[in-house]
Amino acid sequence: MTNNKERKTDIDRFLTQFFNGRPYQVDVVTGDASFRRYLRVYQGGTSYILMDSDPSKVNNDPFVELNACFSQAGLRVPEILATDMAYGLLLLNDLGSEHLADLLQSPHRLAHYQSILALIPSIATVKNSPHMKPYDGVFIQQEIEIFEQWLLGSWLGYEFDNDKKGLWQLCKRRLVENIQSQPHCTMHRDFHSRNIMRDECGWVLIDYQDAVQGPVTYDVVSLLRDCYFRLPGDEFSLLQNESYHVLTRADLLNGMSYSEYQQCFDLTGLQRHLKAAGIFVRLLLRDNKAGYLNNIIPTLNYVIEVAERYDELQWLATWLVNEIMPLIDNKLNSLK
């Protein structure tokens, strides 16, 4: 791992070489939930984005290879202009700064979501890559256990009693079975309002490097039950129904009925939201990033609402409401 001064030297060398010694300016844009950070570079009236991604912390090969795979499927992703993989530096075209997240109060919100849903069949056709991890039972369960390890254990100091432990194991098994029973295709895996950008040419997908072959409902869940924005109920219902027809027309559901689709959607969301709540805590405890803490309760509210609709999961809703949410409230209040 290099220090800040050494990193600046690496960046200066990389940019000086790309711009053939012409002067440039650099501004910090933002970091994200990973170990990457982004810089905006100005040179000769044009702006660029520099992705600074330390290879001692991040494997950058999936970003490059999957960029090509998504492009070949007709999807718009950042254009990679230059790379220095040894130092984890990638220069990209500048897509601006407008995300779907910035358009959520627009009167055209519903139309935005409808046009984005239409991208999912193309994502599904992205060819498999050696960099796509197998989304198998072990991996699915490991994702759920992020909630158990980080939120319950490391943050709240909570331990299951024997009865709850048995119910929790059954819950995990049910969520794994749900995901494995669905038709599988390529999924973006982080298909939400902060990872979908818009420029003058339309929608662009970012943060695609964790794509895998997984359950057909996953990206729709990510979009419509976004951890960062809650759709009004009537819009959610309309868009969920439309998503079913989009996937059906693309022959991705293997004859699944709408009620079967809704159940797969619900339980896939439950798995994703448990994982996400755990990741938000991991970002705080491991990475010293507190900016996601306010998303924990809205994310777990999705879990509670889904669990209340299924007899086998009633205990989960009750447990979260009566035991876990008060502990989270106390933790959040102590941090203010």
β-partners of residue 270 are none
pLDDT, tens digit, 9 for 90 and up, residues 209-219? 999 999 999 99
**pLDDT at residue 1 tops 60:** no
Q: Which two tokens stand for residue 281?
A: 């805590």
Write out pLDDT tens, residues 257-274.
999 999 999 999 999 999
**β-pairing, 80-84 with 202-205?**
unpaired
Please report which confidence band the pLDDT of residue 169 belongs to, taking 50, 70 and 90 as the band edges: very high
Amino acid code (one letter) for 54: D
Residue range 122-142, pLDDT digits in tens: 999 999 999 998 899 999 999
- The per-residue pLDDT for range 70-125, each reduced to its tens digit, is 999 999 999 999 999 999 999 999 999 999 999 999 999 999 999 999 999 999 99
Among 29-38, 45-54, 259-268, 305-314, name the one with the lowest average pLDDT: 29-38
- Rounded Cα distance between 218 and 269, Å, is 7
Residue 32 has pLDDT above 80, yes or no: no
pLDDT tens sequence across 192-228: 999 999 999 999 999 999 999 999 999 999 999 999 9
Kindly report the average pLDDT of the chain as a whole number.
Answer: 96
**Under 8 Å CB-to-CB from 44, ≥6 apart: which residues?**
22
Alpha-carbon distance 182 to 185, whole Å?
10
Q: Calculate the alpha carbon distances from 44 to 14, 22, 25 in Å.
A: 17, 8, 10
The pTM (predicted TM-score) of the whole model is 0.94
**Residue 57, token pair as written in the block:** 């912390």
For residues 203 and 119, is the Cβ–Cβ distance under 8 A? yes
Contacts 24+ apart (CB under 8 A), 79-87: 81/18, 81/48, 82/14, 82/18, 84/10, 84/14, 85/55, 85/60, 85/61, 86/55, 87/10, 87/14, 87/55
Average pLDDT of 3-24?
A: 94
- In the prediction, which pLDDT does 133 show? 84
Q: Is residue 184 within 8 Å of residue 214, measured between CB atoms?
A: yes
